Structure 1
Amino acid sequence: MASTAAEYLPILLFLGVALALSTSFVFLPMIVSRLTGANNPYPDKLAEYECGFPAFEDSRSQFDVRFYLVAILFIIFDLEAAFLFPWAVSLGAIGIAGWAAMMLFLVELTLGFVYAWKKGALEWE
């Protein structure tokens, strides 16, 4: 009969290997870049490259709350579309109860959309 501590040995070995691999994946590229000279910052390398022009404001400035509202509305209506496809495929199997549940879901989403529209959440100045 094996001791209780010996039963945990495979788990401890797995955790040790995982820790060693994750640490090496983080620190090994940094060490190699230092040794090969790839880490050589100069003005052209540090220039803005994503948008093509220098930043005109502080990069840590806060976004307008309307950006977040539009993003949340997009996610909600994107999920609505994701729910509609499987529902349409299985409509024959779920019957009238499934149809009524989806209609209730669509009415709730429509009411939420109308509310957001009336509150001006979709207006961008």
Structure 2
Amino acid sequence: MFYLLFMNLLLFMISSILLMLNFFLSKKNYKMRNKLTSFECGFDNISLLRLPFSVHFFMIGIIFLIFDVEISLIFPIIKFLNLMNFYKKNIFLIIMLILILGLYYEWKQGSLKWL
């Protein structure tokens, strides 16, 4: 019991020391603002450093991520489909139906249109 308490205290102390060390060593010097700007061949910046991010592009990425993960989980199931019993095949078909309905819903909402 004493060993666990000692190890927790030791880990807490090490993490606290590292956190304080990071806080003191990573101070930025705000006097040199030119070093924080982007360099464009010696010219002044034409536009802002942070451009607005397209929400539609973000939605396309999220939809791609969801369906990409689902497809990577479906490929092994398709290989062993003939070894499954009736109950497992029905569950697989229900999952596929939900995915197809989700894709149809996204298509009708206009989330898949790029322009």
Give the TM-score normalised by the residue count of structure 1.
0.60
Match for 1:119 among 105, 109, 114? 109
CA-based RMSD: 3.4
Give 1:56's match in structure 2, choosing from 33, 37, 47. 47
- Confirm or deny that 1:47 pairs with 2:40: no
Indicate conservation of the 8 Å contact 2:38/2:49, yes or no: no
Ranges in structure 1 where 5+ consecutive residues have no aligned partner: 1-6
Counterpart among 75, 78, 88 of residue 88 in structure 1: 78
Q: Tell me, what secondary structure is at the counterpart of 1:56?
A: coil
Q: Give the letter for the 1:21 counterpart.
A: I
Q: TM-score, normalised by structure 2?
A: 0.64
Distance 1:75 1:55 in 2: 34
Percent identity at matched positions? 26
Q: Which runs of 5+ in 2 are unaligned?
A: 40-44
> Is the 2:60–2:112 contact (alpha carbons within 8 Å) kept by the matching residues of 1?
yes
Runs of 4+ with >6 A deviation: none
C-alpha displacement of 1:12: 2.6
Q: How does 1:1-125 map to 2 (within 5 A)?
A: 7=1, 9-31=2-24, 42-43=32-33, 45-48=35-38, 56-57=47-48, 59=50, 63-125=53-115
